[in-house]
Structure 1
Amino acid sequence: MSEIQLLPQVRDFLQRDHAHFINGRYCASACATRIPTINPANGQAIARVTGADDSAATTAVRQAFTSNWAETAPYQRGQTINRLTDLIEANGEELAQLETLCLGKSIHLPRMFEVGQSTMAGSLARVTLILGGINAAVLLPDADLGMAVAGLIQTGYVHQDQVCAAPERIYAHRSHQEETLAKIAAALQGINLSSTLGGSVQFGRRSSTRSRNWSVSD
């Protein structure tokens, strides 16, 4: 699959001079420091943001809570949050591309919410989608190794431990320990290494040089 092309609005966003968004408007910061946002896929700066100046933000948050949000009824709060959800979904592709460029994750990771949507298709059941868990993976004697290894590759490698869904240890029963290792090795050799925005990429760049170095030294 060819590399995904950036949306025009994504390109426009990256070319802007980014200020702090406080109390419903963009504000110039007293801090002169400009911090580059690095694309882990190529090491290039894709944007620059103003350095920290949190006094105005802190004041705005306190005022909003004490003068408005604290007195807002739960139903109205829910309506506000639902509106935010609608806006995120309406701009999902744009947000996913920006998240991918900033963090180096494969495009399908920033759009994990679609998993929940597809799971709920045609169902009225109330469910909670939880993306988490870093406990050990235990493969019992009757484990389906094909399914288990596919899951381990997805959670342990494709996610690149940038989400909390990567088992820290794998315990395989002695009856299929060697077969498990062989299947994992074969699966790793078949992983598609590509540009972060590649449509079929399975293993992109780490979110930062610090993250990469920590992983290599672990």
Structure 2
Amino acid sequence: MSEVQILASVQQFMARQHGHFIDGQTIPAETSERIELINPATEQVVSTIAIATQNEVEKAVQSAYEAFHHAWANTPPYERGLKLNKLADLVEQHAEELAQLETLTTGKLINLARHLEVAQTIVFLRYFAGWATKIHGQTMQPSIPSMNGEKYTAYTLRQPVGVVAGIVPWNFSLMIGCWKIGSALTTGCTIVLKPSEFTTLSLLRLAELAIEAGIPAGVINVVTGKGETGQYLMNSPLVKKVSFTGSVPTGIAIGQQAMKNDLTRVSLELGGKNAAAILADANLDEILPTLLQATFVHQGQVCAAPERFFVHQSKYDEFTQKATAALQQFTMGSPLDEASMFGPLSNKPHFEKVKHYLDIANQKDQVICGGQTIQGTGYFVEPTLLKVQGTDDPLFIEETFGPVVDVIAFESDEELIRMINHSRFGLTASIWSNDLAKALRLIPQIEAGSVWVNMHTFLDPAVPFGGVKASGLGREFSDAFIDDYTELKSVMIRY
């Protein structure tokens, strides 16, 4: 095994006594209480972060508020785009540094951190930068009757909502954090980010790069801590929008609190129990490499990844045999080893959650392959397929957010749709077939925000993303984000 050598800049950054990033600089923490950041592959402490007090959160929000009113909202759109593109350039220059920070704190395979997390962060920042000069309203002709020869005209304009609270999950903290940064800054908003307490370092480093890119102090702020820190942030009266990515229970609580906080705008990108439907005509030898890659990327810790395989009865036995053989070839190892195909889960609480589901499956004799945690150091779990007899099985209903997938057979299209939609979630789904006519007929019947054909999981900034039912509110990307980060103002003129 040959592991990637940790850069000196990464070692130095991890060794810092990290505080918060407020008003363009790192400030020391007010309290001595620290959170240890654990490398999930080795279970060793790699760094520590501070826990923000309410006073520190209020300072960050005030900084964002001042920067909004005195700098960023009045910055010409073209200049906003230039600065976001400059930030993308700096992310590209520091790509290996950011990738290693992600791998060391999330267990993400180093090649995935490089070629997905960091690479897509650059793509998304540049995509958002391109929208900065394309946010516009409409003109219209009112139908108000003229009494004395007067005339009327009207137009709309879009104005940034103000300070945004961005609450970021642990699985892709850099990339998802930049989705929120890009959306906010493009529209003229400022932002206070609260990363997960498990994966904080890459966003702290990004905030420093933003200053180097010429983004004014206070436009991007980062406060660290646990759930209480996020609560302080979203309850600030100066916060006009909350953008949250994470679990369904937390998202529902945030949405309810936002409504109580004078109808604070909120967008929620939550979890899913996503479906992949393998139809009778599918060539398993052709689709399995793509399907399994999409399913087990980052050990299945992806909100969009499939957790339920619906396989036509005629293909069920062949599918389970070939999928088992393929998964047994996955090379498990250190995420810093470029040859590894499968790494650890990202943190101990999540490891314990997934282990709980595996214990249930083993007790009920539902394991097709995998099903075990790996003894020794690190939070390693085997990629697992489970057989499910019915749609009321808790393993079929509850999101595991890990490398655990249910396999169930279906016979008819009607049965397939009924089973897919038998879920409180509705984030993503996919259809695997060469029968395009059948796929096009099935797509409108599936209750999900995104449906793929012969692919799954991977996103593109030009395509809106978000869920239905308990999987969320609002949409990311495309031009759909503009509605969530701006207020539409109507103007009518009599002359």
Structure 2 distance, partners of 1:216, 1:152, is: 24
- 2:87 is the alignment partner of 1:84: yes
Specify the structure having the higher radius of gyration (Cα): 2
Deviates further, 132-141 or 27-36? 132-141
Aligned CA RMSD, in angstroms, stands at 2.4
Of Structure 1 and Structure 2, which has the larger fraction of its residues in helix?
Answer: 1
Superposition deviation, residue 30 in structure 1: 1.1
Residues 1:35 and 1:56: Cα distance change in structure 2 (over 3 Å): same
Report the counterpart of residue 276 of structure 2 in structure 1: 137
Superposition deviation, residue 117 in structure 1: 8.9
Superposition deviation, residue 116 in structure 1: 9.7
Report the counterpart of residue 215 of structure 1 in structure 2: 354
Structure 1 distance, partners of 2:281, 2:41, is: 40
Structure 1 distance, partners of 2:279, 2:74, is: 53
Report the counterpart of residue 7 of structure 1 in structure 2: 7
Residues 1:216 and 1:152: Cα distance change in structure 2 (over 3 Å): farther
Structure 2 distance, partners of 1:115, 1:99, is: 14
- 2:301 is the alignment partner of 1:162: yes
Conserved 8 A contact 1:159-1:166: no
Structure 2 distance, partners of 1:115, 1:56, is: 31
Matches within 5 A, 1:14-33: 14-33=14-33
Superposition deviation, residue 134 in structure 1: 6.1
Superposition deviation, residue 110 in structure 1: 2.0
Matches within 5 A, 1:63-212: 63-111=66-114, 112=116, 114=119, 135-212=274-351
Matches within 5 A, 1:38-49: 38-49=38-49
Q: Percent identity?
A: 41
The normalised TM-score by structure 2 is 0.39
Deviates further, 96-105 or 52-61? 52-61
Residues 1:155 and 1:9: Cα distance change in structure 2 (over 3 Å): same
Conserved 8 A contact 1:155-1:166: yes
Q: Which amino acid aligns with 2:36?
A: P
Structure 2: gaps (5+ residues): 124-129, 131-268, 358-495
Structure 2 distance, partners of 1:134, 1:148, is: 21
What is the CA deviation profile of residues 160-184 of structure 1, one whole-angstrom value per residue up to 9, with x for unaligned ones?
2322331121111222211111111
Report the counterpart of residue 61 of structure 2 in structure 1: 58
What is the CA deviation profile of residues 10-57 of structure 1, one whole-angstrom value per residue up to 9, with x for unaligned ones?
112112222222111111121221111111111111001122132221
Superposition deviation, residue 155 in structure 1: 2.3
The normalised TM-score by structure 1 is 0.86
Structure 1 distance, partners of 2:323, 2:63, is: 51
Conserved 8 A contact 2:18-2:28: no
Conserved 8 A contact 1:158-1:202: no
Superposition deviation, residue 115 in structure 1: 7.2
Q: Which amino acid aligns with 2:344?
A: R
Residues 1:204 and 1:101: Cα distance change in structure 2 (over 3 Å): same
Residues 1:38 and 1:117: Cα distance change in structure 2 (over 3 Å): closer
Structure 1: gaps (5+ residues): 119-125, 127-131
Structure 1 distance, partners of 2:282, 2:355, is: 30
Residues 1:2 and 1:146: Cα distance change in structure 2 (over 3 Å): farther
Conserved 8 A contact 2:299-2:345: yes
Report the counterpart of residue 471 of structure 2 in structure 1: none
Residues 1:136 and 1:98: Cα distance change in structure 2 (over 3 Å): same
Residues 1:116 and 1:171: Cα distance change in structure 2 (over 3 Å): farther
Residues 1:139 and 1:193: Cα distance change in structure 2 (over 3 Å): same
